[in-house]
Chain A
């Protein structure tokens, strides 16, 4: 008999029922199947109503994040063979409201993302539309922020962050990492503008250095370290403006 593996998924359909339920499917086991392949098998062959997000299936788009046996993972790059012959439990990403089955509502994250202004800001606004100017960057200058450009907004760090779970107002790891990415870009001049948001009460200071964000990040953006560096930067700025009598 062909090998099989059991996958238990969260089911939720607010139109029909207010409760979350689970459902277990038994699917064929293939050594080279990702969990997403397993979910696609369920949807195609067993139950077409199962709802979840995915797109690129190669760890680029960041839409297939789910809780896999309690840990936030990208299901397209997590393989069945990691768990076989054990069972797999798939839940929607923690800390977010659930829309249906394995799909969560990311509105809160999207709003915060906009607020950190993740684009290059110039003091002289006309620079932003002037395509004739060149902004040359050395590799050393690019190294300062390159790691943080790799963020794919998969929000696994938000699902892992206990501080975000407790205080949903916390602006969170990925958004801070993106603020850092632009703040450390030699072409950018928007650090002061972003500081209002990053150093606010719900900004970097809320972080208690648990470090789970860095642990689960599939792109090794290392949000935890970045948050601490942003704290140092904001503390230094605070002391200087304090000495200058601005506070």
Chain B
């Protein structure tokens, strides 16, 4: 219970991450969805532009760190956005026991996935 109390006391942090993630999900992710989901399959953009080899060489270039930070932001912050939203939805559904542990599951999940993202981006791909 002590841990859950501590998580709840961090509400300003969760809410800020929620806001930031929401901005990214609303403004940046659609650009990627458009590029990868529509423009390339439709042939408007050459698939070579975002090919695996090309991407890998960008990542290992001196600018790689900026790309990695960018990738981290568009993956991690929307996770926190989703975590907060799902937690509040569960709260509205009033499922007592789930409600109590939801902060742990949702924010914990977002933290774990963010750590995995960091490991993949900064260790596996270096």
Contacts and interface: CB of A to CB of B under 8 A. Distances in A.
A and B associate in one complex:
yes
B16 interface: yes
A163 B88 CA distance: 10
Contacts of B11: 201, 205
Contact of B12 (A162, A166, A234): A234
Given A166-B94, A201-B8, A205-B11, A235 B16 contact: yes
A231 B92 contact: no
A238 interface: yes
A25 interface: no
A83 interface: no
B94 A235 contact: no
A239 interface: yes
A226 B92 CA distance: 22
Nearest to A241: B12
A166 B15 contact: no
B15 A231 contact: yes
Interface in B79-126: 88, 91-92, 94
Contacts of A162: 92
Contacts of B88: 208
B69 interface: no
A205 B15 CA distance: 8
Interface in B1-48: 8, 11-13, 15-16
Contact of A239 (B8, B12, B92): B12
Interface centre among B11, B16, B92 (most CB of A within 10 A): B11
Contact of B13 (A166, A199, A231, A238): A238
Interface in A124-177: 162-163, 166
A208 B12 CA distance: 13
A201 B6 CA distance: 12
Interface string A224-247: 000000010011001100000000
B8 A235 contact: no
Given A231-B15, A235-B16, A238-B13, A208 B8 contact: no
Interface of B: 8, 11-13, 15-16, 88, 91-92, 94
Q: Across chains A and B, which 3 residue pairs bring their CB atoms closest together, nearest first?
A: A238-B12, A235-B12, A205-B11
16 contacts: A162-B92, A166-B91, A166-B92, A201-B11, A205-B11, A205-B12, A205-B15, A208-B91, A231-B12, A231-B15, A235-B13, A235-B15, A235-B16, A238-B12, A239-B12, A239-B16
